[in-house]
Amino acid sequence: MRPSLLNPLFASVQTLPGVGPKLEKLYRRLLGRDDGARALDLLFHLPTGLIDRRARPKLADVVAGTVVTVDVLVEEHRPPPPNRSRLPYRIVTSDETGTLTLTFFSARPEYLEKLLPVGQRRYVSGTTALYDGHLQMVHPDRIVDEEGFAKLPLLEPVYPLTEGLSENNVRRAAEGALAKLPVLPEWQDQDWIVRERFPPFADALRLVHRPLDPIDTSPDTKSWQRLAYDEFLAGQLALGLVRANTRKVTGRRSAGDGSLRAKVIKALPYQLTGSQTKALEDIVADLAKPERMTRLLQGDVGSGKTVVALLACAAVIETTKQTALMAPTEILARQHHKTIAAFAEAAGIRIALLTGRERGKERAVMLEKLADGEIDLLIGTHALFQDEVAFKDLALAVVDEQHRFGVHQRLALARKGEAVDMLVMTATPIPRTLVLTYFGDMDFSELREKPAGRKPIDTRTVDLERFEEVVTGVGRALADGRRAYWVCPLVEESETVDLANAEERFASLKKRFGKAVDLVHGKMKGADKDAAMARFASGETQLLVATTVIEVGVDVPEASVMVIEHAERFGLAQLHQLRGRIGRGSASSTCLLLYKSPLGETAKARLAVLRDSEDGFRIAEEDLKLRGEGDVLGTRQSGMPGFRLARLEFHGKLLQAARDDAALILARDPQLKSERGEALRVLLYLFERDEAVRLIRAG
Ligand code: ADP
Ligand code: MG
């Protein structure tokens, strides 16, 4: 049950001054609460700026275009001529340094005469503009006399609005909501609060709503940081509680004696990198525990995730259980199958491939073997979800390129076995802050190190006007025996147009370079795609014109040149993915980003980030700054719950601390029974994470 001290905050906004049933409807819209707006929602609706009445510049010092409050003498009324009431009503005012015209459209003269009597002083605030070289203000926000001005706050918050609600409505209601804030117990660690100089929660909320200085409206303030930290902690605690609970319910030990892993490692033509070894250790430790694993393996393109996945599978197969590896595209599933086949064979691991293309008798035989436990590792695409795919004993599911699959798909795979351990891998470098936010219920490992011997990719941005030079340059590379990708422009929302582009470019390059040129795109039949990839991988063809089908995971180490047309139309993360197709072998690689000028500032900045960095994590962070968080993962549409108070750009750094804090709290006081634990329950209710509280009770 919600602690009763919070009840006033969960009461309808109708309990606030000036809010009746009609306005309540508008608050529902403003606060995104279809089922009723509450005082709490308004408290969490933070101002985005403020009106500052402290400085009252002289008219000569007013900068046109800014919002000001000035102290002026009313000089003269200039009503529009009789039958031309469409024209504005102007009132000339002045101080000792200049004049200001106040302009009103369709105003009642009697009203204006009363509001602004000639010969009187008034305080006027609003947005200024220059009109015909004269300073003017159209429909001032406020006009008051000395007495009225004394009553106005010098600083007033500005809230985001919805049609029908005014700033004054929202300010009044927000004030009312602040007045309902109860005395809350402190749920944060006292030392931490002191060290960070955080005010108590209620004070912090009051300060953000009642700024004392323009600086107070920035998310950078201690007050706002405190609120964000509270929100993060509530979220991380809830995730921690959920996880503790699911772990208790399920889990089995699935890591063998290392014999198969040793055989695979022996068969590898290279040494594992330090990060690969570490990631594998993390995974095997998880597998060995009686708890269920949910781990994210995050590794930049080319960091070598596939072999880690294989070794994780090997560890499970050592216990004679089964494993699955799911890839988002057919090309990728086939490539994984091919890469893994040789090493698996060396270790005696029985693998099979299942995509939409495996059909008929062969497929039936394979499925039968799977059900009998005669296949140790099944590699495939979405086809793995299908009902007729049944394992004898699936114990580990690896999902490659996690962000392309929904959570429900991940779960569908998990249901194919009992307490299936999950390893999800992503090459989309998800910023750490986002991992914590969205995958907070997962542990994660990173492959930050690239395999030895990789040379940096020389990336250049080139104006499309120099297209001819680029083609000539590619010709030289081909003559040197190098292999190149040519990625065709992305045309928004239209695969058909993309395709037309690729086909056109293919035709023109083929004219120039003949048989060395090939084409691969998403609409090709699976077998044709494979054949094209195989020709390119073997060196039979040298220049592969492609749509973004090659974006994900394709591995042809000999390719060392990439041209991307209309790079400005691609997302940064996507460009990084694409570029990751080269620079995988020992040759030095070149990537040319062709853009159409003129480029906007942001577009320029984005391409520069890519040109100057190969660190996927940095690129992703920059991308995040330039784009906003939801886009990076494409999660905005899928309804991933966002934050109400925290802003990732400003507060992301606090997330790690909140996560550590939550882990520590739950280790010491898993039932939240201590004094601080009780206070933390209030926090969980306040941020509506109370499902987690219910779990404590059940457990
Ligand atoms: P990604 O993490 O992008 O999926 P892959 O698993 O496709 O990367 O590996 C990229 C390339 O690096 C492959 O050609 C693979 O054989 C090679 N590779 C993986 N690990 C190592 C290593 N430790 N040393 C050298 N090459 C490696
Ligand atoms: Mg991969």
User: What span, in angstroms and rounded, lies between the C-alpha atoms of 425 and 397?
Assistant: 11
**DSSP string covering 145-210:** -HHHHHHS-SEEEE----TT--HHHHHHHHHHHHHTPPP----S-HHHHHHHTPPPHHHHHHHHHS
Q: Which residues pair with 426 in a beta bridge?
A: 298
User: In testing the pocket of ligand 1, which one of 555, 558, 578, 614 has its CB within 8 Å of the most ligand atoms?
Assistant: 555
Torsion angle in degrees (nearest 10) through CA of 99, 104, 109, 111: -90
Residues with Cβ within 8 Å of 587's Cβ and at least 6 positions away in sequence, in order, are 455, 482, 558, 560
Alpha helices in 555-674 (DSSP H): 572-579, 601-612, 616-627, 629-633, 648-668
Measured on CA atoms in the order 565, 571, 576, 578, is the torsion positive or negative?
negative
Residue 533 is inside which H or E element, if any? helix 526-538
User: What span, in angstroms and rounded, lies between the C-alpha atoms of 176 and 526?
Assistant: 64
Hey, what amino acid is at 653? Answer: K
Residue nearest (by alpha carbon) to ligand 1 atom 19: 304
**DSSP string covering 35-51:** T--BHHHHHTS--SEEE
Q: Is the pLDDT assigned to residue 691 strictly greater than 80?
A: no
The CA 400 to ligand 2 mean position distance, Å, reads: 7
Range with lowest mean pLDDT among 27-31, 282-286, 569-573, 604-608: 569-573
Q: Is the pLDDT assigned to residue 130 strictly greater than 90?
A: no
User: What span, in angstroms and rounded, lies between the C-alpha atoms of 228 and 232?
Assistant: 6
Residue nearest (by alpha carbon) to ligand 1 atom 25: 451
Ligand nearest to the CA of 552: 2
Ligand nearest to the CA of 556: 1
Closest ligand 1 atom, CA of 303? 2
The CA 141 to ligand 1 mean position distance, Å, reads: 63
Average confidence (pLDDT) over 131-142: 87
452 burial via Cβ count (<10 Å: 0-12, 13-18, 19+): exposed
User: In testing the pocket of ligand 1, which one of 275, 337, 379, 584 has its CB within 8 Å of the most ligand atoms?
Assistant: 584
Q: Is the pLDDT assigned to residue 289 strictly greater than 90?
A: no
Which pLDDT score, from 0 to 100, does residue 630 have? Answer: 41
Residue nearest (by alpha carbon) to ligand 1 atom 9: 304
Which two structure tokens, joined as six digits, stand for 325?
Answer: 């590896």
Ligand nearest to the CA of 301: 1
In tens, the pLDDT along 97-124 reads 999 999 998 788 899 999 999 999 999 9
The pTM of the whole model exceeds 0.85:
no
Residue nearest (by alpha carbon) to ligand 1 atom 16: 304
Which pLDDT score, from 0 to 100, does residue 499 have? Answer: 62
Which two structure tokens, joined as six digits, stand for 626?
Answer: 């330039």
When pLDDT is cut at 50, 70 and 90, the band that residue 634 belongs to is very low
User: What span, in angstroms and rounded, lies between the C-alpha atoms of 287 and 373?
Assistant: 20
User: What span, in angstroms and rounded, lies between the C-alpha atoms of 314 and 289?
Assistant: 16
Q: Is the pLDDT assigned to residue 370 strictly greater than 90?
A: yes
Ligand nearest to the CA of 399: 2
Percent of the chain predicted with pLDDT > 90: 48
- The 10 Å Cβ neighbour count of residue 65 is 9
Exposure on the CB side of residue 665, measured as CA atoms within 13 A: 28
Closest ligand 1 atom, CA of 585? 14
Residue reference for tokens 């090939």: 518
The CA 439 to ligand 2 mean position distance, Å, reads: 20
Residue 696 is inside which H or E element, if any? helix 690-698
Average confidence (pLDDT) over 302-306: 88
User: In testing the pocket of ligand 1, which one of 303, 401, 428, 577 has its CB within 8 Å of the most ligand atoms?
Assistant: 303
Q: Is the pLDDT assigned to residue 619 strictly greater than 90?
A: no
Average confidence (pLDDT) over 435-454: 72
Ligand nearest to the CA of 275: 1
The CA 472 to ligand 2 mean position distance, Å, reads: 32
Which pLDDT score, from 0 to 100, does residue 410 have? Answer: 64
Which residues contact ligand 1 via a Cβ below 6 A? 270-273, 276, 299, 301-307, 427, 451-452, 553, 555, 557, 584
The CA 225 to ligand 1 mean position distance, Å, reads: 41
User: What span, in angstroms and rounded, lies between the C-alpha atoms of 40 and 686?
Assistant: 8
Residue nearest (by alpha carbon) to ligand 1 atom 17: 304
When pLDDT is cut at 50, 70 and 90, the band that residue 151 belongs to is confident
User: What span, in angstroms and rounded, lies between the C-alpha atoms of 461 and 453?
Assistant: 25
The CA 415 to ligand 2 mean position distance, Å, reads: 24
Which pLDDT score, from 0 to 100, does residue 107 have? Answer: 81
Hey, what amino acid is at 496? Answer: T
| Contact status, residue 577 vs residue 504, Cβ threshold 8 Å | no
Q: Is the pLDDT assigned to residue 553 strictly greater than 70?
A: no
264 burial via Cβ count (<10 Å: 0-12, 13-18, 19+): buried
Hey, what amino acid is at 41? Answer: D
Alpha helices in 217-373 (DSSP H): 222-249, 259-267, 274-288, 305-317, 330-347, 360-372
Q: Which residues pair with 458 in a beta bridge?
A: 590
Rg (CA), the chain: 32
Q: Is the pLDDT assigned to residue 452 strictly greater than 90?
A: no
Residue 498 is inside which H or E element, if any? helix 495-513
The CA 551 to ligand 1 mean position distance, Å, reads: 16
User: What span, in angstroms and rounded, lies between the C-alpha atoms of 422 and 270?
Assistant: 27
- Residue 376 CA from chain centroid, whole number: 36
The CA 525 to ligand 1 mean position distance, Å, reads: 27
Alpha helices in 446-494 (DSSP H): 467-479
Of residues 315 and 655, which shows the higher confidence score? 315
The CA 342 to ligand 2 mean position distance, Å, reads: 17
Ligand nearest to the CA of 272: 1
Ligand nearest to the CA of 305: 1
Q: What is the mean pLDDT of the chain?
A: 86
Alpha helices in 318-425 (DSSP H): 330-347, 360-372, 407-414
In tens, the pLDDT along 190-246 reads 999 999 999 999 999 999 999 888 788 888 899 999 999 999 899 888 878 877 766
The CA 269 to ligand 1 mean position distance, Å, reads: 11
Which pLDDT score, from 0 to 100, does residue 340 have? Answer: 94
When pLDDT is cut at 50, 70 and 90, the band that residue 500 belongs to is low
In angstroms, what CA-CA distances link 347 with 13, 308, 315, 318, 369? Answer: 66, 15, 12, 10, 19
Which pLDDT score, from 0 to 100, does residue 572 have? Answer: 81
User: In testing the pocket of ligand 1, which one of 306, 399, 403 has its CB within 8 Å of the most ligand atoms?
Assistant: 306
480 burial via Cβ count (<10 Å: 0-12, 13-18, 19+): exposed
Residue nearest (by alpha carbon) to ligand 1 atom 18: 304
Average confidence (pLDDT) over 5-15: 96
Task: Pick the closest to residue 326 from 399, 275, 377, 401 (CA basis).
Answer: 399
The CA 510 to ligand 2 mean position distance, Å, reads: 30
Closest ligand 1 atom, CA of 584? 11
In tens, the pLDDT along 583-599 reads 887 788 999 999 988 88
- Residue 347 CA from chain centroid, whole number: 40
Closest ligand 1 atom, CA of 307? 6
Q: Is the pLDDT assigned to residue 612 strictly greater than 80?
A: yes
Residue reference for tokens 């990751």: 580
In tens, the pLDDT along 308-360 reads 999 999 999 999 999 999 988 787 888 899 889 989 999 999 999 999 888 88
Per 3-state DSSP, the chain is made up of helix, strand and coil in percentages (nearest 5) of: 45, 20, 35
Which pLDDT score, from 0 to 100, does residue 587 have? Answer: 82
User: In testing the pocket of ligand 1, which one of 307, 447, 554 has its CB within 8 Å of the most ligand atoms?
Assistant: 307
Which pLDDT score, from 0 to 100, does residue 8 have? Answer: 96
The CA 459 to ligand 1 mean position distance, Å, reads: 21
Residues with Cβ within 8 Å of 578's Cβ and at least 6 positions away in sequence, in order, are 485, 487, 548, 550, 551, 562, 564, 570
When pLDDT is cut at 50, 70 and 90, the band that residue 372 belongs to is very high
The CA 454 to ligand 2 mean position distance, Å, reads: 16
The CA 370 to ligand 2 mean position distance, Å, reads: 24
When pLDDT is cut at 50, 70 and 90, the band that residue 435 belongs to is low
Average confidence (pLDDT) over 414-420: 83
| Contact status, residue 560 vs residue 588, Cβ threshold 8 Å | yes
Task: Pick the closest to residue 564 from 539, 547, 549 (CA basis).
Answer: 547
Exposure on the CB side of residue 419, measured as CA atoms within 13 A: 16
Ligand nearest to the CA of 577: 1
| Contact status, residue 445 vs residue 282, Cβ threshold 8 Å | yes
81 burial via Cβ count (<10 Å: 0-12, 13-18, 19+): exposed
Closest ligand 1 atom, CA of 272? 23
Residue 495 phi/psi, 5-degree rounding, is: -65, -35
Which two structure tokens, joined as six digits, stand for 191?
Answer: 């030392």
Which pLDDT score, from 0 to 100, does residue 638 have? Answer: 26
Burial pattern 598-637, b for ≥16 Cβ within 10 A else e, equals ebeeebeebbebbeeebebbebbbbbbeeeebbebbebee
Ligand nearest to the CA of 331: 2
Average confidence (pLDDT) over 366-391: 93
The CA 329 to ligand 2 mean position distance, Å, reads: 11
Give the 3-state secondary structure of residue 458.
strand
When pLDDT is cut at 50, 70 and 90, the band that residue 493 belongs to is very low
Closest ligand 1 atom, CA of 299? 2
665 burial via Cβ count (<10 Å: 0-12, 13-18, 19+): buried
Percent of the chain predicted with pLDDT > 70: 89
Closest ligand 1 atom, CA of 400? 4
The CA 326 to ligand 1 mean position distance, Å, reads: 18
Which pLDDT score, from 0 to 100, does residue 365 have? Answer: 96
The CA 612 to ligand 1 mean position distance, Å, reads: 23
Of residues 616 and 377, which shows the higher confidence score? 377
Residue nearest (by alpha carbon) to ligand 1 atom 20: 304
